[in-house]
């Protein structure tokens, strides 16, 4: 079964905006890929370090028991996710921060639903730090990444291929 571990570096607008996903984050995603018809959607929050216009994803929370999960939906509860975000924020002295949301789709190559796009736009408009919200969807063999600004402008990222 192919894994997602090679999907570490992403780019938008000819490399002006880069995202690096640490292997520990990809491991969380890999654990919740919906490979079987009985697997529910999963998700959590994304925590990262901002480097100018670039972003490093350093932590993804797993789903918690209070989250609502079905085959085709995921509704994150605040319990658990907020505590981890607060803990990492304080331990890092404000370096590691909330940057967005992730969830799975039971698709080979995922794409956002209309509900996803509306939720990302609404959540981006509520951000107090003025930064775009990162929305990430994990599929069976791929990942979709989009940032949405407070004005609703969307920027889609493409994986950077590595020459081995």
How far is Cα 120 from Cα 108, in angstroms, rounded to an integer? 22
User: How does DSSP assign 123-143, residue by residue?
Assistant: HHHH-SS-PPEEEEEE-SS-E
56: left (phi over 0), alpha (psi -120 to 50) or beta: beta
Give the active site residue among 30, 41, 56, 119.
Answer: 41
79 an active-site residue?
A: no
Whole-angstrom distance, CA of residue 53 vs CA of residue 43 = 25
Closest CA to 58 of 30, 20, 89, 94: 20
CB 73 within 8 A of CB 56: no
Residues annotated as part of the active site: 41
């Amino acid at each position: 079964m192919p894994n997602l571990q090679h999907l570490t570096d992403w780019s938008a607008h000819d490399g002006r905006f880069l995202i690096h996903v640490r292997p520990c984050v990809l491991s969380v995603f890999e654990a919740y890929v919906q490979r079987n018809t009985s697997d529910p959607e999963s998700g959590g929050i994304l925590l990262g370090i901002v480097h100018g216009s670039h972003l490093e994803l350093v932590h993804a929370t797993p789903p918690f028991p209070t989250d609502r999960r079905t085959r085709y939906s995921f509704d994150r509860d605040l319990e658990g996710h907020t505590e981890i975000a607060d803990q990492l924020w304080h331990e890092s002295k404000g370096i590691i921060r909330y940057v967005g949301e992730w969830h799975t789709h039971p698709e080979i190559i995922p794409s956002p639903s209309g509900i996803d796009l509306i939720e990302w736009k609404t959540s981006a408009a509520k951000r107090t730090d003025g930064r775009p919200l990162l929305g990430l969807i994990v599929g069976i063999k791929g990942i979709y990444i989009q940032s949405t600004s407070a004005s609703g402008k969307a920027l889609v990222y493409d994986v950077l291929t590595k020459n081995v």
